[in-house]
C-alpha cells in the first residue's frame, strides 16, 4: 500500500490489500505530505473520510450542464433552470444566448405577452456537435488537445490548453508510458499535437518550458483578521486573510533544452503562444512590514525565496487541512518585479472557474495550514530545502531560488513553529515598536530595503558598463586615427623612395634632370645635411660610354636629391 494523496484512497487500498486478514505495508516516498504522516501517524489514521462537494456555481461547468439539459428538454423555462442548477445558471443563459447556442422560442401568437413565460431552445443543425460530445468528464477545461502519432492517427491522450502549451510545443520531448516522443507540430486550430516516437536512450536532453503567470485580484471578497499566536510580531489588524475572485494571465514564452547528465542548459528557444486567461478563486494573506523587512535585512530574497518556499509547503499539505488535492491549487511560482502581488502569501485554484470550494476551505483553515507548513519545514533536517519539505513537482520556476531559511523566518515572525531566540536575523527584535509602526504603512511602501539596494546596484552596474563602452570606443577611435597617420607617413615615404630610385637610374644612364626641387619639398622637416659635389673631367665610365659624368655624394640622408652638374 502506498501513502496516497487522500484518506479515501488510502482506505480503499487498505481494504483491497487486507481482504485476507494479512498485514499491509505502507510505502512512503520523498514527498512533504507523506513525510508528515510518517512523523505524525495520528494525522493519517485518525482522519475522517474526505468530502468532495462540487462547486455548483462554476460557470464553466454550468454551461455544459445547461446545454445537455437543453438537448433533452425542449423547450425549457428560466424557472426550470433555476430549480435544477440554482440562481447562478441565469447568467449562464444570457451568455449562451450571446454565443448563439440558445434562442428564445417565438410564441404562438407571434409576440411574447408580458404574462407569458419566456422559453429557451437549443440551436441544433448539421455540423453542430451534440452537447454531450463537448462536455469532458475528466477535465473541467473545455479546450482539449489530442496527441496523435504521425502516420497512425491513433490518439495517445488529451491535455488541456495550458498543459498542451507546456508539454506539447514544437521541439518538446514528451514521455508517455515509458516511451519518448518528439513533438513535430502543435496545430492550434485543430487542437492536435503531432508526435513521432524516439528512442529515449538516444535523446541526450530533456525540455523545460518557460512560463509566467500574473494574477489580478478582484475586490468584494471576504476578509478577516488573522488569528495569530501571541509570539507573532504583528496582530490581526495588519495581517489579514482574504479570499475572492481572481483573473489569471498565463503565458508561455519558450523552453530550454537541458542535458540529462548534468542538467546544464544546452539551448534556449523562444516561442510565441497566445496567452491563456481564465477566471478563478484565490485566498491570500496580507503580510505587514514587521514580518518582511527583518527577513530582507538579513540578506534573504523575500518574494521568490521565502514566500515561494512557504507556499510550496502549504500546497503540499493542503490535503491534510482542507480536503483538497495539491493538483487543484497553485501559487505564484514565477514572481517578477512587475507583479503587484509578489509580497502576498497567495494560493489559488488552478482550474478555470475554480474546481470546487477550494478557496473557501483555504480561507477557513488558513492558520491551520500555515502552522503545519512551518512545522514541516522545521522538522526536515535538510539545510536548503529538499523534496521532503519545499521542493515539489509542477513548479513553474522548477524550484529555483527557494529559500528555506527565509520561509522559516517568515513563519516564525507570524508566531508559528519554534519561537526564535533573541532577535530575528538583522538585529531587529521581534515585536519591536519600530517594526510594528512600519507595519501600518501601505503595502506599496513595504518594499524590503534589499530590493531597493538591488535596483541601485543594477543602475550602478549599468552606468559602469556605459562608461566602459565609451572608453573602449574612444580607444578604438584613437587607434584608428594613429593607424591612419602611420599609413599616410608610409605612403609619403614610399613616394619619396620611388622618385629617388628613378633619379638614380637616370643618373646612371646619363639623363639627369637639372633639379629635383619638387621632390625636395616632400622631405621631412629636418635640416638638410651639407652636400658636396665632386666633378670629374675627361674620365670615361666603366661601361665605356665616354660620356662625362658628375658624381654625386649625398650627405648620407636617404631620399635626398641634390642639384647635379654635368661637364661638357
- Structural domains in the chain, CATH included, are 59-108+115-134 (1.10.10), 144-198 (no CATH), 219-250+274-443 (no CATH)
Q: What is the pLDDT of residue 82?
A: 82
More confident residue, 25 or 330: 330
Q: Phi first, then psi: what are they for 241, rounded to 5°?
A: -95, 130
For residue 56, pLDDT over 50 is answered with yes
pLDDT digits (tens, 9 = 90+) for 218-271: 877 889 999 999 999 998 888 999 999 899 999 998 999 999 888 888 999 999
> Can you read off the three cell numbers belonging to residue 545?
660610354
Looking at residue 12, its pLDDT comes to: 61
> Distance (Å, rounded) from C-alpha 475 to C-alpha 478?
5
Show the cell assigned to 37.
504522516
User: Per-residue pLDDT averaged across 494-511, rounded?
Assistant: 79
Instruction: Write down the pTM of the prediction.
Output: 0.62
Structure confidence at residue 319 as a pLDDT band (50, 70, 90): confident
Distance CA 153, CA 190 (A): 13
Distance of alpha carbon 347 from its chain centroid, rounded?
18
Share of the chain above pLDDT 90, in %: 27
Angle (CA) 9 15 20, round 5°: 155
Give the mean model confidence (pLDDT) for residues 107-124: 64
CA distance 353 to 60: 6
Q: For residue 283, give the C-alpha cell.
A: 485566498
What's the CA gap between 297 and 451, in Å, rounded?
10
Stretch 501-513: mean pLDDT: 72
Question: Where do runs of H (alpha helix) occur along 172-307?
Answer: 289-297
Residue 532 has pLDDT above 70, yes or no: no
Q: In angstroms, rounded to a whole number, what is the distance separating the alpha carbons of residues 526 and 163?
A: 83
- What does the pLDDT average to over 328-356? 85
Q: What is the pLDDT of residue 369?
A: 93
b/e per residue 162-180 (b: at least 16 CB within 10 A) = bebbbbbbeebbbeeeeeb
pLDDT at 331: 92
Higher local confidence (pLDDT), 39 or 306: 306
Q: pLDDT at position 52, please?
A: 60
Binned at pLDDT 50, 70 and 90, residue 185 comes out as: very high
pLDDT value, residue 370 = 95
Inform me whether the pLDDT recorded for 71 exceeds 50.
yes
Reference 273, options 337, 359, 187; nearest CA is 187
Tracing cell 453542430 back to the chain, one arrives at 128
Q: With a cut of 50, say whether residue 41 has pLDDT above it.
A: yes
Q: Cβ distance 97 to 122 under 8 Å?
A: no
Average pLDDT rounded to a whole number, residues 3-24 = 57
pLDDT at 440: 39
pLDDT band at residue 525 using 50, 70 and 90 as cut-offs? very low
What does the mean pLDDT of the chain come to? 76
Write down the pLDDT at residue 509. Answer: 74
Residue 88 pLDDT: 77
Amino acid at each position: 500500500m502506498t501513502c496516497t494523496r487522500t484518506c479515501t484512497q488510502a482506505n480503499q487500498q487498505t481494504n483491497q490489500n487486507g481482504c485476507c486478514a494479512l498485514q499491509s505495508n505502507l510505502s512512503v516516498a520523498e514527498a512533504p505530505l507523506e513525510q508528515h504522516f510518517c512523523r505524525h501517524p495520528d494525522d493519517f489514521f485518525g482522519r475522517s473520510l474526505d468530502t468532495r462537494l462540487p462547486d455548483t456555481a462554476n460557470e464553466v461547468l454550468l454551461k455544459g450542464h445547461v446545454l445537455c439539459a437543453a438537448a433533452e428538454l425542449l423547450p425549457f423555462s428560466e424557472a426550470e433552470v433555476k430549480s435544477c442548477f440554482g440562481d447562478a445558471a441565469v447568467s449562464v443563459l444570457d451568455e449562451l444566448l450571446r454565443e448563439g447556442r440558445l434562442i428564445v422560442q417565438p410564441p404562438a401568437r407571434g409576440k411574447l405577452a408580458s404574462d407569458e413565460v419566456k422559453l429557451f431552445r437549443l440551436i441544433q443543425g448539421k455540423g453542430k456537435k451534440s452537447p454531450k460530445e463537448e462536455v469532458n468528464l475528466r477535465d473541467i477545461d473545455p479546450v482539449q488537445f489530442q496527441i496523435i502519432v504521425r502516420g497512425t492517427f491513433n490518439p495517445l491522450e488529451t491535455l488541456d490548453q495550458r498543459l498542451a502549451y507546456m508539454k506539447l510545443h514544437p521541439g518538446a520531448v514528451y514521455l508517455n508510458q515509458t516511451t519518448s516522443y518528439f513533438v513535430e507540430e502543435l496545430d492550434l486550430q485543430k487542437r492536435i499535437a503531432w508526435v513521432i516516437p524516439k528512442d529515449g536512450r538516444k535523446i541526450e536532453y530533456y525540455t523545460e518550458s518557460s512560463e509566467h503567470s500574473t494574477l489580478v485580484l478582484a475586490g468584494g471578497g471576504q476578509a478577516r483578521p488573522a488569528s495569530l499566536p501571541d509570539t507573532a510580531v504583528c496582530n490581526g489588524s495588519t495581517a489579514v486573510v482574504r479570499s475572492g475572485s481572481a483573473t489569471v494571465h498565463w503565458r508561455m514564452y519558450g523552453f530550454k533544452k537541458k542535458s540529462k547528465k548534468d542538467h546544464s542548459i544546452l539551448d534556449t528557444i523562444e516561442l510565441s503562444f497566445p496567452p491563456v486567461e481564465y477566471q478563478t478563486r484565490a485566498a491570500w494573506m496580507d503580510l505587514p512590514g514587521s514580518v518582511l523587512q527583518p527577513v530582507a535585512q538579513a540578506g534573504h530574497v523575500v518574494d521568490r525565496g521565502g514566500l515561494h518556499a512557504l507556499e510550496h509547503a502549504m500546497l503540499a499539505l493542503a490535503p491534510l487541512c482542507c480536503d483538497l488535492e495539491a493538483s487543484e491549487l497553485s501559487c505564484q511560482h514565477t514572481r517578477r518585479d512587475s507583479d503587484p502581488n509578489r509580497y502576498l502569501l497567495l494560493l489559488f485554484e488552478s482550474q478555470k472557474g475554480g474546481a470546487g470550494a477550494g478557496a473557501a476551505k483555504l480561507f477557513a483553515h488558513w492558520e491551520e495550514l500555515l502552522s503545519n507548513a512551518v512545522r514541516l519545514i522545521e522538522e526536515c533536517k535538510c539545510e536548503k530545502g529538499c523534496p521532503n519539505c519545499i521542493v515539489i513537482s509542477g513548479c513553474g520556476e522548477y524550484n529555483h531560488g527557494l529559500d528555506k531559511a527565509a520561509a522559516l523566518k517568515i513563519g516564525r515572525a507570524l508566531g508559528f513553529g519554534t519561537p526564535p531566540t533573541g532577535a530575528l536575523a538583522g538585529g531587529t527584535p521581534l515585536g519591536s515598536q519600530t517594526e510594528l509602526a512600519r507595519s501600518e504603512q501601505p503595502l506599496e511602501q513595504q518594499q524590503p530595503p534589499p530590493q531597493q539596494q538591488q535596483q541601485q546596484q543594477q543602475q550602478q552596474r549599468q552606468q559602469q558598463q556605459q562608461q566602459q563602452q565609451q572608453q573602449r570606443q574612444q580607444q578604438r577611435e584613437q587607434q584608428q586615427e594613429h593607424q591612419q597617420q602611420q599609413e599616410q607617413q608610409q605612403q609619403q615615404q614610399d613616394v619619396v623612395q620611388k622618385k629617388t630610385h628613378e633619379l638614380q637610374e637616370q643618373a646612371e644612364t646619363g639623363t639627369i634632370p637639372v633639379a629635383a626641387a619638387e621632390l625636395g619639398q616632400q622631405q621631412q622637416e629636418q635640416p638638410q645635411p651639407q652636400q658636396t659635389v665632386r666633378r670629374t673631367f675627361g674620365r670615361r665610365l666603366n661601361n665605356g660610354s665616354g660620356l662625362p659624368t658628375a658624381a654625386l655624394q649625398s650627405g648620407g640622408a636617404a631620399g635626398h636629391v641634390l642639384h647635379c652638374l654635368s661637364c661638357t
